[in-house]
Structure 1
Amino acid sequence: MTVTNIAFPDKFDYNIQSIAVPGTKRPGQTAHYRNALYGLVDVNVLPTLPDIFDNGYNINPDCRLLGHRPLVSTNPLKFGPYVWQTYKQVDVRRRRIGSALHRLFSRGELQGEDLETVGIWSQNRPEWQLVELALHAYNKVGVGLYDTLGKDSVEYIINHAHLSIIFTTVDHIPALLKLAPKVPAMKMIVSFDGLSVDARKALVAWGETVGVQVKEFSELEKYGEEHLVPPLSVSPDTVASLCYTSGTTSQPKGVVLTHGNLASSAYSNMFGMDYPPNGSVLSYLPLAHIYERVVELTTLAIGGCIGFFTGDPLRLLEDAQMLKPHFFPAVPRVLNRVYQSAMAAGNVPGLKGALFRAAVRTKLDQYHATGVSTHPFWDALVFRKIRAVLGGNVLLVSTGSAPISAEVIDFLKIALFCEITEGYGMTENCGVCTHTFKADPDCGGTIGPPQPVNELKLVDVPSMNYTVEDKPNPRGELCVRGPNCFTRYYKDEKNTRETLKDGWIHTGDVAEVDPQGRFKIVDRIKNIMKLSQGEYVALEKVENMYVACPLVQQIFVHGDPLQSYLLAVLIPDPVALAPLVSTVLGQKVAPDDIPALEKAIKDPRVVAQVLTVLNIEAKKNRLTGFETIKRLHISLDPFCIEDNTLTPTFKVRRKDAFAKFATELQALYALGEPNGDSSSKL
Structure 2
Amino acid sequence: MGSCNSTLSLDAACGEAAEETYGVFEVGGEKSSHLSPALRWGANAVDGVPAPPPSFDEEGNGTVWAMVAACVRKHGPRPCVGWRALLKREMEGKFEKLTLGDYEWWTYDEFGKSIADLSSGLPVCKGDCVLIFAETQRDWFVTALACFRVGCTVVTAYATLGEEGVTTALGQTNAKVCVCDAKLLKILASAKSLPRTLKHVITIGDASSELKGFETETIRELVAKGAETPKDEVPVEPSDVALIMYTSGTTGTSKGVVITQNNLVAHTMSFKGAVSDLTRDDVHLAYLPLAHIMEFCIELWCLSAGGSMGYGSPHTLTDTGVKLQKGCRGDAPLLRPTCMLFAPAVLDKVYAAVMRKIDGSSTKEFLFGLALEAGKRRYAQGLAGAGPIWDALLMKKIQALVGGRLRYSASGSAPLSPEIQVFMQTCFNSIFRQGYGCTEGGTCIGRTADNTLGQVGPPSPATFVRLRDWEEGGYLNADISNPKIGRRRGEILLGGPTICAGYWVDKKRPDPEIVKKNADDFVTISGVRYFCTGDIGEFDERGRLRIVDRKKDLFKGATGEYVALIKVEAALKLSKYVELPVVYGKTGAKGVVALVCPQMHAIEELKRAVGLHDVPYGPELCKRPEIVSAVSDALKKQCKDYGLLPFETPLAYALVVAPDGSPALTPDNGLLTSTMKVKRPIVTKAFQADLDAAYATVTD
8 Å CA contact 1:508, 1:524 repeated in 2: yes
8 Å CA contact 1:321, 1:389 repeated in 2: yes
Counterpart CA distance in 2 for 1:396 and 1:235 is 34
Matches within 5 A, 1:93-108: 93-101=114-122, 104-105=124-125
Question: For 2:440, what is the secondary structure of its paired residue?
Answer: helix
1:286 is displaced (CA, Å) by 1.0
Q: Work out whether 1:224 is the aligned partner of 2:220.
A: no
Q: 1:627 to 1:355 in 2, by over 3 A?
A: closer
Comparing 457-466 and 569-578, the one that deviates more: 569-578
What's 2:550 paired with?
A: 524
What's 1:501 paired with?
A: 523
Aligned AA (2:41): N
1:558 is displaced (CA, Å) by 2.6
What's 1:27 paired with?
A: 33
Question: For 1:543, what is the secondary structure of its paired residue?
Answer: helix
Compute the TM-score of the two structures, normalised by the length of structure 1: 0.87
User: Unpaired runs of 5+ in structure 2?
Assistant: 1-10, 58-62, 91-96, 317-321, 480-484, 506-513
Aligned AA (1:436): G
Aligned AA (2:278): Y
Matches within 5 A, 1:542-557: 542-557=568-583
What's 2:355 paired with?
A: 343
Counterpart CA distance in 2 for 1:480 and 1:310 is 31
8 Å CA contact 1:52, 1:300 repeated in 2: no
8 Å CA contact 1:371, 1:439 repeated in 2: no
Question: What is the root-mean-square deviation of aligned Cα atoms in Å?
Answer: 2.8
What's 1:66 paired with?
A: 81
Question: For 2:202, what is the secondary structure of its paired residue?
Answer: strand
Counterpart CA distance in 2 for 1:566 and 1:227 is 65
What's 2:631 paired with?
A: 610
8 Å CA contact 1:243, 1:289 repeated in 2: yes
Of Structure 1 and Structure 2, which has the larger fraction of its residues in helix? 1
Counterpart CA distance in 1 for 2:646 and 2:635 is 13
Aligned AA (1:344): R
What's 1:282 paired with?
A: 285
Question: For 1:595, what is the secondary structure of its paired residue?
Answer: coil
Matches within 5 A, 1:76-475: 77-101=98-122, 104-105=124-125, 115-179=127-191, 181-195=193-207, 199=209, 203=210, 206-208=211-213, 212-271=214-273, 272-310=275-313, 312=315, 314-315=322-323, 318-346=330-358, 349-373=361-385, 375-429=387-441, 432-441=442-451, 443-470=452-479, 471-475=485-489
Question: For 1:325, what is the secondary structure of its paired residue?
Answer: coil
8 Å CA contact 1:487, 1:500 repeated in 2: no
Counterpart CA distance in 2 for 1:13 and 1:335 is 32
8 Å CA contact 2:584, 2:592 repeated in 1: yes
1:463 is displaced (CA, Å) by 0.8
Counterpart CA distance in 2 for 1:321 and 1:351 is 28
- Cα-to-partner distance string for 1:400-421 (whole Å, 9 max, x where unaligned): 0000111110121122111101
Q: Work out whether 1:13 is the aligned partner of 2:25.
A: no
What's 1:674 paired with?
A: 699
1:495 is displaced (CA, Å) by 1.1
1:306 is displaced (CA, Å) by 2.2
Aligned AA (2:26): V
1:364 is displaced (CA, Å) by 1.6
Q: Work out whether 1:485 is the aligned partner of 2:491.
A: no
- Cα-to-partner distance string for 1:119-159 (whole Å, 9 max, x where unaligned): 10001111101101112222111111110103222211111
Q: 1:43 to 1:559 in 2, by over 3 A?
A: closer
What's 2:71 paired with?
A: 56
Q: Work out whether 1:660 is the aligned partner of 2:674.
A: no
8 Å CA contact 2:78, 2:108 repeated in 1: yes
Question: For 1:427, what is the secondary structure of its paired residue?
Answer: coil
Q: 1:594 to 1:148 in 2, by over 3 A?
A: farther
What's 1:112 paired with?
A: none
Counterpart CA distance in 1 for 2:26 and 2:196 is 52
1:670 is displaced (CA, Å) by 4.2
Of Structure 1 and Structure 2, which has the larger fraction of its residues in strand? 2
1:23 is displaced (CA, Å) by 6.2
- Cα-to-partner distance string for 1:25-69 (whole Å, 9 max, x where unaligned): 741222221224344553475132124323432343122222222
Comparing 117-126 and 166-175, the one that deviates more: 166-175
Q: Percent identity?
A: 28
Counterpart CA distance in 2 for 1:404 and 1:389 is 21
Q: 1:604 to 1:174 in 2, by over 3 A?
A: closer
Counterpart CA distance in 1 for 2:32 and 2:557 is 34
Q: 1:258 to 1:574 in 2, by over 3 A?
A: same
1:542 is displaced (CA, Å) by 3.5
Compute the TM-score of the two structures, normalised by the length of structure 2: 0.85
8 Å CA contact 2:384, 2:431 repeated in 1: no
